[in-house]
Structure 1
């Protein structure tokens, strides 16, 4: 076990355009309220003295911490951004030489804070802690949460709230927006350096390829196909799919106003700032495609010296995104209702089910569990569809069930809301218990209350970023 960080900051070899040296602000009374023992062990850190260790790290002025700069399309509008409330302590290498960014979220003002205070509420940090770890246990690629701390101060949002810091762990924080920043610098060498660095860090197996830049782009596209597919599988709505919130590592990042579907509604949004439904549930694949097109624009000249040829190559990749995503989505939905083999009529069966779920406001998670358990006869309006499903199952080549396709529990919005309200009174008992429950989302033997949809008065209709 390491007694200290094993930092090696490769990112600082990039031009200073991409970062500023920053340090966390001094906080009155840092206190760890939740820590991730499994992740502590994965990073080969010492668990016994972790609380003191992480507080010391936040206060250590000798650590060469920094904040990253980037640009981005926010709800379609381009702007220059950066880590306005985050400081990256460094890149930690575990005993297997796996590299992880260790970032403090809510650490105070940076050069990119604009008019913000650079801080975060304890509630928003706990929320990301809960959901990101639930996503990890759902087997979805995501940034991780190492710990949440109270800062000992009150910060003003809609009212005074407890301040909090999240210690976030990621394979990298390189975003589509990082490349957009390089593009507007009007220096091609900035883009090339960033691209070479990204290949070396994320996909080193490509670095000697003849067409390594196009191959890198294909890898990023593939990672996003797989990620969005997983979001749709579990009913996850990200809420702010801006280009600065798309990580080239293929990890879910920046949880902000995210939420999970209760009743199925393909056009559902939770984010209080998504007034036009740009980032609605069904729109997520289209937005991912749009973001990837913006990424390609930043290094077209490196794909091919002939711009027209470069555009054609990128268009082919993006067209394949649509084809591959659709094929994989159909395959995934077939697994959710336990059918296999290829029949062109299957898509009609899937669409009919989704239409029924939408019209009758069925719970997204529980409907698929009921189908899996052959327990949907209780729905009178679904009986005709069930007959079709049973007939179709007779054509299955094998009887194998996919045990990790339909989660039994998800981090439901009303359950998280209850935990966050309890944190106002410094009560974290339910947090600890629920985090333990979320470790086994495919286990059907968990207490039923964790799988039940919210009552009418418990429903969460809007979510907020907490900035």
Structure 2
């Protein structure tokens, strides 16, 4: 490996050193013909990495996991998890590797992680590979979420491997280089708890506190404070998802982070016509993770974290359960407050408005949107024009015009702030038809649609000439949309 990369990158081994029971040393599979498809140069700069070096042969070697700096120790992480409510005691990184931790110029520690880097002992029968399309999808959606201001893992690069991946058809393979505050999950704690190794559980909790919630270390009961911090982070995160119409699609406990970042962009999508029952994921046949069910799903996952932490919460189990139940109850209060704050901003409502006025106003609008199949993103954006006096663009989206006019009169009487609305209501989201267009082209070697889409999504609140199609709903002939997990 040349001096250029080794001089600019040190990959720490903190997770592997402190929690060896959760770390399986492993190597990435060979990539016959690595070819860079997309590189996130601003993120590379945040990590203190030279983009030109990453584009070089040695850089591509790093991005597919075959050439790591001296001292690095790639590992597959072990965790458990409830998947659609069914418990799996041993999951883990079946097709992923943690290369190590990077401390950028800001001193913040981040994981550098690969997805699609080959089969590990945790693969459970899978081939360990990933196709170009799903890896580009994670790149697009995660970077769109970041631009929207939503806590998320980030995408550094997608590299085509030159290997072929067998799914319903044969597809070109790829590796995603992902960056995260960490990859600690509720499932990590479930696995540690299932081992009956109290020392491991305590070390994991202390590692999470040091990594993500350092203020908890100063609390009278640090592990209780850790749980409270995760509850707050997840309540705020899901409220943000709901505000922009994001549907995660697979809210299993192994996909809920301790940091409060969104992780795992498999069958996710952004809702178009507003409907709480919206499901896009092909594997969510019962609607467990439908748009409107996401707050309850998050609370359910947090209850599983509480169960895993019980031995650290109190020496007496009965007392631990009582405390955990009380702490978990704070999720609903925090979520409701976070959602209310976000939707009040989306409607430009003045501060201090009485809940008895705001609550029915919000609920009535959401019912009108559902009944009229109104586009979630565009409606909120067009309401800012209504706040300025031109209600026709928003009005034209409704079937019940009299009901909308009555609602608008109530809302305008409160003096909504149109400028504030423009700052929180995006114009450009990853529209499902545009994402599919970009992924299909990218799979066949044409990356221009991907780059144009990324350009629009990089500044989602700023209207720009020439980008009109990126704000439009899917054409009628796009049909019913369905997403897949990509494995």
Same fold (TM over 0.5): yes
After TM superposition, give the deviation of residue 396 of structure 1 in Å.
4.2
The match for 1:67 is 76
- Secondary structure of the residue aligned to 2:51 is coil
Q: 1 or 2, which has the higher helix percentage?
A: 2
Comparing 427-436 with 370-379, greater Cα deviation is found at 370-379
2:276 matched residue in structure 1: 266
After TM superposition, the structure 1 stretch with the greater mean CA deviation from structure 2, 49-58 or 242-251, is 49-58
* Superimposed CA distance per residue, residues 234-271 of structure 1 (whole angstroms, 9 cap, x where no aligned partner): 10000000000001010000010000101111011111
Q: From 14, 31, 35, give the equivalent of 2:35.
A: 31
**Cross-structure match for 1:386:** 405
Q: CA deviation at 1:380?
A: 5.7
Residue in structure 2 matched with residue 295 of structure 1 by the alignment: 305
Q: 2:194 aligns with which of 176, 181, 184?
A: 184
* Residues 256-289 of structure 1: per-residue CA shift (max 9 Å, x gap): 0000101111011111110100000000000100
Partner of 1:438: 457
- Contact between 1:6 and 1:94, CA under 8 Å: does it hold in 2? no
- Verify: 1:109 aligned to 2:119, yes or no: yes
- Counterpart in 2 of 1:6? 10
Contact 2:381 2:421 in 1 (8 A): no
Partner of 2:473: 453
Residue in structure 2 matched with residue 333 of structure 1 by the alignment: 343
Partner residue of 1:54 out of 27, 42, 59:
59
Displacement after TM superposition at 1:407 (Å)? 0.7
1:142 has 2:152 as partner: yes
Is residue 19 from structure 1 mapped to residue 23 from structure 2 by the alignment? yes
Instruction: Normalising by structure 1, report the TM-score.
Output: 0.96
8 A contact 1:110–1:118 mirrored in 2: yes
In 1, are the aligned partners of 2:365 and 2:407 still within 8 Å (CA)? no
CA–CA distance in structure 2, aligned partners of residues 182 and 403 of structure 1: 45
SS in 1 for 2:428: coil
Could you give the per-residue CA deviations for residues 287-339 of structure 1, whole angstroms, max 9, x where no partner exists? Answer: 10000010011121211222222222222222121122123222322222222
Q: For residue 45 of structure 2, what is the aligned residue in structure 1?
A: 41
SS in 1 for 2:420: coil
How far apart are residue 421 of structure 1 and its match?
1.0
State the distance in 2 between where 1:34 and 1:304 align: 49
Deviations 1:165-217 (A, max 9, x none): 00000000000000000011011111011111111111223223221111111
Equivalent runs, 1:189-268 vs 2, <5 Å: 189-268=199-278
What residue in structure 2 maps to residue 346 of structure 1?
358
Structure 2 CA distance for partners of 1:397 and 1:445, relative to 1, 3 Å: closer
Classify the secondary structure of the residue corresponding to 2:52. coil
Q: Deviations over 1:80-122 (max 9, x none)?
A: 2000100111101112221110011000010101111100000
Match of residue 167 from structure 2:
157
Cα distance between partner residues in 1 of 2:471 and 2:106: 37
Aligned to 1:377: 395
The aligned counterpart of 1:81 is 91
Residue 447 of structure 2 corresponds to which residue in structure 1? 428
> Structure 1: any 5+ residue segments left out of the alignment?
none
Structure 1 counterpart SS, 2:263? coil
Tell me the number of residue pairs that the alignment of Structure 1 and Structure 2 aligns.
467
TM-score (norm 2): 0.92
Alignment partners' CA distance in 1, 2:416 and 2:87: 50
